[in-house]
Amino acid sequence: MLDVQDLTVKFPSRHGEFTAVQDVSLRVAPGEIHGLVGESGAGKSTIGAAVIGLLQPPGYVANGRLVLGDTDLRSLTPDAAHAIRGARISMIFQDPQTSLNPLMTIEDQLIETMQAHEDITTSAARARAIELLEEIGIRNAADRITAYPHQFSGGMRQRVVIALALCTNPELIIADEPTTALDVAVQSKVLDLIRELADNRKIAFILITHDIGVIKQITDQVTVLRGGRVMEAGPTPQVLDSPQHPYTQALLASVPRLDRKLDRFLVPSEVEEAAPPLVAGVDAEKWLLAGDTTNPVDLEVKDITVKFAGQRTSLFRRAESFTALNSVSMQVAEGTVMGLVGESGSGKSTLAKVITGLVQPSNGTMTLDGAPLPPARQRGRQDAARRTIQMIFQDPYSSLNARHRIGAVLGEPLWLYGLEDDAAKRRALCAAMLEMVGMEPDAIDKYPHQFSGGQRQRIAVARALLARPRFLICDEPTSALDVSIQAQILNLLKDLQDRFGLTMLFVSHNLAVVRQMSDRVTVLQRGEVVETSESEAFFTAPAAPYSRELLSLTPTL
């Protein structure tokens, strides 16, 4: 039904023309879900945009055939293309927060879309809208249809976005990362809905995702892309079970497995972006071994409660507070890795911030290495814990100051904690540390924007190590990275843990990643501890019902 032949998309820029997509061909039949998978820069979204005719200018289709049914999409006038968009091809975007107009009710948005494409009375459109919302699983649709987008939860909002895409009875829906912004439980329901719509209404879907688990769960056909070219294509079970192309094999090997723990990820040389660490950086390793880093500490948090001030409802009344953490206790033994898991809003990051001293708990005590660890406001600038506890952040694009050279970023802990007073020695040590985390030492004079996400995360690890930490907190350290890069960073963290025996708190929403990294696991739900157990026991036989649910909903390979 949709037939794409030799599609090539180019983006002219001041540095010459950039080919985003080259000679891509794919066919999608009615009722079929066709997955486009690849890492960032693979051209997945560009293909979707080219099909629906919404390429970001100055991008243009340089070559190829785009045929939907019997309509040649490339030869359409702008008006005809506009009429087809919405009526025959719809789109579901990644973030339901931004793809609905916050100032219009759901009803108005649905009716407006229908009336834009066909001659239908408002009451008939409303009736169809209600029917549609019921069909995609919104209960009491007749009442809820007058609500505004913010009155729905994230998952419900994504259902409304799907209803909006469906309301004109399109033949093809392009779903661009439709579940990336959602928690696993919601993701699984939205994916089920998409499968149902494909089966019952015979709608063709193009599902764009970076998550191979999602591909495995619902697609019929899959096209693996890299750098704008097709690496491999075929029926999903065939491609995933017996991948032919080395890139597909590498990609699959670097996906963390939920069902078993690996010592190291295989990162074939093809996707490796920097030399593997191990040999280089001997000086940095010696320096770390000379300090107290190899003497790890244990951490205990007890009855930590965090309340955030809410919205003030009256001038004369105190604002209602929101409880982010409710009496959370946790013990991390020295030299072990504790995995902290939970859905968004469960308080994982808040707990990490309490330990680092960014958030003031309203109640509870902490001990580090047997000594009391003062909470945020009581922890002085000179407190030893400022150095011994270090953190690696989620987003390597914002965790390094864009205006400072790498040398300045790395030298900061050395200078601040008085670990090395001599500027020349500081510089040498920073260079050695860069080598140890697998970077070229000449990176020291560059700026963060000159590096990729994975390289920046290595720099962030180097910065944390240069404080000679004894307790390392990793807050979703790989969730902003592609899987092959994620595998490298996880390997690096594992190596460091093996060599220096660091105590780590590993925060992640991705259970498969946590399985690879942690010795013990703590599960948080809405600010409370649901379960704490040994990692192997947790993943083979979880005790709490909530843990079982989480595990069963996570897409697996």
Task: Pick the closer one to other proteins by CB: 39 or 476.
Answer: 476
Cβ neighbours for 485, distance < 8 A, ≥ 6 positions apart: 39, 273, 452, 453, 454, 457, 478
Indicate which single residue of 382, 418, 421, 424 sits in contact with other proteins (rule: CB under 8 A).
382
Q: Which of 366, 391, 481, 513 binds other proteins (CB under 8 A)?
A: 391
How far does CA 133 lie from the centroid of its chain? Answer: 28
Judged by CB under 8 A, which stretch of 129-137, 236-244, 293-301, 397-405 contacts other proteins?
397-405
Q: What whole-number distance in Å separates Cα of residue 27 and Cα of residue 473?
A: 46
Q: Output 390 or 484, the one with its CB closest to other proteins.
A: 390
> Which of 383, 528, 536, 549 is close enough to bind other proteins by CB under 8 A?
383
Least Å distance between CB 394 and other proteins? 7
For the bound state, the minimum distance from the C-beta of residue 34 to other proteins, rounded and expressed in Å, comes to: 32
The answer to whether 139 contacts other proteins (rule: CB under 8 A) is: no
Site string for other proteins, 344-373 (x = CB under 8 A): ------------xxx---------------
> How many residues line the site for other proteins (CB under 8 A)?
29
Is the distance from CB of 334 to CB of 356 less than 8 angstroms? no
Give 223's contacts (C-beta < 8 A, 6+ positions apart): 24, 26, 34, 35, 36, 37, 230, 232, 233
**Dihedral-angle region of residue 342 (phi above 0 means left; psi in -120 to 50 means alpha; beta otherwise):** left
Bridge partners of residue 304, in order along the sequence: 328
The dihedrals phi and psi of 410, each to the nearest 5 degrees, come to -75, -35
- Give start and end residues of each alpha helix (H) in 259-382: 282-290, 348-356
Decide whether 139 or 377 has the Cβ nearer to other proteins.
Answer: 377
- Give 317 or 381: the residue with its C-beta nearer to other proteins: 381
Quote the least distance from Cβ 384 to other proteins, whole Å. 10
Least distance in Å: CB of 476 to other proteins?
Answer: 11
Q: Is residue 113 at the binding interface for other proteins, with CB under 8 A as the rule? A: no
Q: Which of 35, 59, 347, 413 binds other proteins (CB under 8 A)?
A: 413
Contact 163, 132 (CB under 8 A): yes
**CA-to-CA distance for 557 and 240, rounded, in angstroms?**
8
Residue 501 C-beta: closest distance to other proteins, Å: 22
Q: Which of residues 464-523 bind other proteins (CB under 8 A)?
A: 467
| Encoded tokens for 92 | 């579901």
Q: Rounded to whole angstroms, how far apart are CA atoms 514 and 353? A: 19
Q: Please identify, using beta-carbon distances, which residue of 339 and 413 lies nearer to other proteins.
A: 413
Shortest approach of other proteins to residue 551 CB, angstroms?
30
What is the C-alpha separation between 349 and 364, in angstroms, rounded?
17
Decide: 236 and 221 in contact? Cβ < 8 Å.
Answer: yes
Q: Is 404 among the residues that bind other proteins (CB under 8 A)?
A: yes
Distance CA 9, CA 20 (A): 6
**Torsion angle (degrees, nearest 10) of CA 443, 446, 450, 456:** 50
User: 71 forms bridges with which residues in the sheet?
Assistant: 68
Structure tokens at 9: 């998309």
Under 8 Å between Cβ of 420 and 459: no
Nearer to other proteins, 65 or 405 (CB): 405
The whole-angstrom separation of Cα 431 and Cα 410 is: 9
402 contacts other proteins (rule: CB under 8 A): yes
68: which strand partners?
2, 71
Q: How far is the CB of 499 from other proteins (least distance, A)?
A: 23
Q: Which of 389, 410, 430, 512 binds other proteins (CB under 8 A)?
A: 389
CB of residue 261 to other proteins, shortest distance in Å: 29
Q: Which of 398, 450, 540, 552 binds other proteins (CB under 8 A)?
A: 398
- If one asks whether residue 377 binds other proteins (CB under 8 A), the answer comes out as no
Q: How far apart are CA 484 and CA 256, in angstroms?
A: 10
Q: How far is the CB of 352 from other proteins (least distance, A)?
A: 10
**Residue ranges in 425-464 that form contacts with other proteins under rule CB under 8 A:** 463
Q: Which stretch binds other proteins (CB under 8 A): 178-186, 272-280, 320-328, 401-409?
A: 401-409
Which stretches of the chain bind other proteins, using CB under 8 A?
A: 14, 356-358, 379-383, 386-387, 389-391, 393-395, 398-404, 412-413, 416, 463, 467
